Amino acid sequence: MSFAPLPVGVIGVGSVGFHHARLFAAVPGARLVGVCDERRGRAEQVAAELGTQAFPSLERLLDEVAAVSVAVPTRVHHRVAMAAVARGCHVLVEKPIAATVPEAEDLVLAAERAGVILQTGHVERFNRALRAAAPFLSSPLSIRSERLAPFQVRGTDVAVVLDLMIHDLDLVLTLVREPVADVQASCVGVLPSRVDVATARIAFASGVVATLTASRLAPSRVRRFRIVQATGTLALDLVEGCGEFRRVRPGVAGAPAQVECIPLAAPEAEPLGLELESFVRAVRTGGAPAVSGRDGLAALDLAFRVLDAAGCTPAFATA
């Protein structure tokens, strides 16, 4: 095991990539070498703000690092991540892992052949509410999620299923580790080429059902996640990072049963920072990443099944 700081870089420093670079600079065991972006001026601006180096090309950055975050537009995830894998670099790629399932499969296999870590940036795995709920999670009977956001231009190059709902698809697949038996869905958009609101009903082999809604036309930001289990119910607010667990306690000595409500809380921490720490730890120890490339592939595949069930094509909105 190496104890030298891991040299890391960030490819793409838009609104998301900037925060990758900002937080990498403080991750224990990592050393931010620099950033690159096809907009040279943007890379230089971010580098100056964070006290690091702006590289003139992807190739020059890859010469100097052992691991990278890929935060470029989804349509070029595959090309950029494959270039890093080909140079033997470990890669954290923002969600969705790629623009298409075949691209994702190609990337996963390439990383496995190269023996490098490939982590997918499903940052909700590190949400404070999910971390607080972990001790109470058991086999779900049903799941319901709402992920609503006001309209903004960023992210509209992809359907809302790939922009927002895919977070909850990943969480559902993590909680219900069994084959998907049926997918039903509906999608609408404000423009013919866009998918801005989507609802999906996903049934699993055992009968567990997950119902998910995603919208980027809402008046305010809402991220609710509810789980019904044999042991009780969890109601999570992923925006506030909190929730509650309700369970029925049997009565004692003839007393009636009571509903017990347990508030859920976990230590404050920036989810993206925890995600980057987990990536660096996996690279330095050779352990499995918290969200593997195959996890990202599974979430992407299910997202396309949702779009197909709704009859929504193409999945990627045109500008």
Question: How does pLDDT run along the chain (319 residues), one tens digit per residue?
Answer: 557 899 999 999 999 999 999 999 899 999 999 999 999 999 999 999 999 999 999 999 999 999 999 999 999 999 999 999 999 999 999 999 999 999 999 999 999 999 999 999 999 999 999 999 999 999 899 999 999 988 776 655 678 999 999 999 999 999 999 999 999 999 887 765 578 899 999 999 999 999 999 998 888 999 999 999 999 999 999 999 999 999 887 655 555 667 889 999 999 999 999 999 999 999 999 999 999 999 999 999 999 999 999 988 644 433 2
Q: Of 248, 217, 219, 214, nearest to 231 (Cα)?
A: 248
- Show the domain range for 244: 128-268+301-310
Residues 39 and 106: their CA atoms lie apart, in Å, by 27
Q: Distance between CA atoms of 277 and 125, rounded to whole angstroms?
A: 13
Beta carbons of 8 and 21 less than 8 angstroms apart: no
Residues 115 and 138 in one domain: no
Could you tell me the CATH number of the domain that includes residue 177? Answer: 3.30.360.10
Residue 44 covered by a domain: yes
Which of 151-158's residues contact partners 24+ apart within 8 Å by CB, and which partners?
A: 151/196, 151/216, 151/217, 152/216, 154/14, 154/15, 155/216, 156/194, 156/196, 156/216, 156/317, 157/73, 157/74, 157/75, 157/316, 157/317, 157/319, 158/74, 158/96, 158/99, 158/315, 158/316, 158/317
User: What is the pLDDT at residue 192?
Assistant: 56
Give the number of residues written for the chain.
319
Give the pLDDT confidence score for residue 259 in this predicted structure. 81
Same domain? 100 vs 226? no
Integer Cα distance of 183 and 200 in angstroms: 7
Angle between helices 101-114 and 77-86 (to 10 degrees): 10
Q: What is the pLDDT of residue 195?
A: 83
Closest CA to 198 of 154, 167, 152: 167
Amino acid letter for position 310: A
Has residue 318 been placed in a domain? no
Same domain, 135 and 105: no
Please indicate, yes or no, whether residues 305 and 156 belong to a single structural domain of this protein: yes
Quickly list DSSP for 174-239. HH--S-EEEEEEEEE-SSTT---EEEEEEEETTS-EEEEEEESS-SS-EEEEEEEETTEEEEEETT
Output the domain CATH number for residue 64: 3.40.50.720
Q: Which residues pair with 226 in a beta bridge?
A: 144, 235
Q: What integer pLDDT is reported at residue 219 of this predicted model?
A: 87
Q: Report d(CA 253, CA 247) in Å as an integer.
A: 19
Helix (H, G, I), strand (E, B) or coil at 30: strand
How many CB atoms neighbour CB 273 within 10 A?
Answer: 18
Would you state the pLDDT for residue 141?
A: 96
- 3-state secondary structure at position 117: coil
Quick one: 115 and 196 in the same domain?
no
Domain count, the chain: 2
Q: What is the pTM of this model?
A: 0.92
Look at residue 224 and tell me if it is in a domain: yes
259 and 176 belong to one structural domain: yes
